[in-house]
Amino acid sequence: MILDDFSLAGQVALVTGAGRGLGQGYAIGLAEAGADVALLDRSSCDETAAQIRDLGKRAVCIQADLSQTTPAQADKLVGSVVAELGQLDILVNNAGIIRRQPAVDHSQENWKDVLAINLDAVFYLSQAAGRVMLPRGHGKIINVASMLSYQGGILVPSYTAAKHAVAGITKALANEWAAQGVNVNAIAPGYMATDNTAPIRADAAREASISDRIPAARWGKAADLAGTVVFLASAASDYVHGAIIPVDGGWLTR
């Protein structure tokens, strides 16, 4: 039955930035589909973990700051998931930060901080997950891209650079790993009502200009992404490799 292909029963996922917002939504969606979930965040994941355990699934909280991630540290983080939950089948590289500053003034600190979390950690964790998944001939890596994987944005040159690069890394890893049973794809959320977009939503003129362009006539929410992450994590997407799937209320069609 086709619905069986979407089941994640018996699988283990690692979601970064899982303490709140979109990461929390991804983690809960995966648990609802049957996965046990390791939750990585620099702050508490207790709320997310409680909701997952209420679904009858295992949840493990891993507190870590990805801003200084090295390949060795990524291997250690992935190893801790395997030690706690027995395996790793799914990685969702969701953690990210954004720094708004005009390009002419964009500081080296802002540039380095954004790329460290939004790009370096994504690659190093994908490498570490690949070392676990490739020998088994099975795995799903889901990166979180953005509308700014396609567009330039305003006041966010470091974020735009990172998200363009995430799209490229997704395709590069898919080219190398598809034949070995590991799927690497990405979700590109549109304008979502999260803490990251709070400054934009607080600017009445900017908020209105964005809302007026979205064919769905509303900002997205975490629940809008759950179906896509479950699809990409499941057997239903076994022939999907290197895709960047927009979940944007139709933003890119305008």
Hey, which residues are catalytic here?
A: 159
Number of other residues whose CB lies within 10 A of the CB of residue 109: 11
Q: At what angle do helices 121-136 and 71-85 cross, to 10 degrees?
A: 50
In whole angstroms, give the CA distance from residue 250 to residue 88: 33
DSSP assignment of the chain equals: -GGGGG--TT-EEEEETTTSHHHHHHHHHHHHTT-EEEEEESS--HHHHHHHHHTT--EEEEE--GGG--HHHHHHHHHHHHHHHS---EEEE---------GGG--HHHHHHHHIIIIIHHHHHHHHHHHHHHHHT-EEEEEE--GGGTS--SS-HHHHHHHHHHHHHHHHHHHHHGGGTEEEEEEEE-SB-SGGGHHHHHSHHHHHHHHHH-TTSS-B-THHHHHHHHHHHSGGGTT--S-EEEESTTGGG-
Residue closest to 141 by CA, chosen among 106, 89, 190: 89
In whole angstroms, give the CA distance from residue 1 to residue 123: 35
